[in-house]
């Protein structure tokens, strides 16, 4: 039990050190989520000038930041010790639904979980330090409340 706890702490230390040296907040960094530099998928950038569009996106961005900051990285991203979110995408589906996506990168050390093992990128193979990227999408429900919709890649 104690050995497992020590191993877990040392794994988190490498990720924490990586975040610190790259100017990121540990264990969850949401600084990269913003209205500036937003990408569009299925939406024309001119649509942001329509009444309510900017408020819709700003409200969603605030919700996403708060939602991610309360997440446990290890549960949210299959064993990650820290997560970084950036690259906001305002999207429209083929059915006409609109929402927001953010790129989420999970960082961990040791053996990655089976769910993500095939899609990880090794940052440092010797130290068994890895990262994994996915896109979290957020939607507004029937009560017009923002909520986590799921992952782009399952």
Q: Which of 148, 139, 146 is nearest to 91 (CA)?
A: 139
Could you give the number of structural domains in the chain? 1
Q: Output the pLDDT for position 47.
A: 87
* Domain with 16 in it: 2-151
pLDDT digits (tens, 9 = 90+) for 35-68: 988 999 999 888 888 999 999 999 999 999 999 9
pLDDT digits (tens, 9 = 90+) for 106-135: 999 998 888 898 899 999 878 889 999 999
Q: Which of 104, 103, 97, 102 is nearest to 140 (CA)?
A: 97
- Average the pLDDT over 21-45 and give the result: 94
Q: Which of 61, 55, 60, 66 is nearest to 145 (CA)?
A: 60
pLDDT digits (tens, 9 = 90+) for 61-109: 999 999 999 999 999 999 999 999 999 999 999 999 999 999 999 999 9
């Amino acid at each position: 039990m104690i050995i497992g706890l020590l191993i877990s702490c040392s794994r988190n230390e490498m990720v924490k050190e990586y975040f610190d040296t790259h100017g990121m907040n540990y264990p969850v960094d949401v600084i990269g989520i913003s209205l500036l530099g937003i990408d569009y998928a299925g939406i024309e950038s001119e649509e942001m000038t329509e009444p309510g569009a900017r408020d819709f996106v700003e409200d969603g961005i605030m919700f996403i930041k708060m939602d991610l900051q309360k997440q446990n990285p290890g549960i949210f991203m299959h064993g990650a010790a820290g997560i970084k979110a950036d690259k906001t995408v305002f999207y429209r589906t083929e059915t006409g639904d609109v929402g927001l996506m953010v790129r989420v990168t999970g960082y961990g050390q040791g053996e990655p979980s089976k769910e993500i093992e095939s899609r990880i990128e090794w940052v440092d193979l010797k130290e068994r330090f890895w990262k994994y990227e996915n896109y979290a999408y957020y939607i507004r429900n029937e009560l017009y409340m923002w909520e986590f919709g799921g992952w782009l890649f399952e």
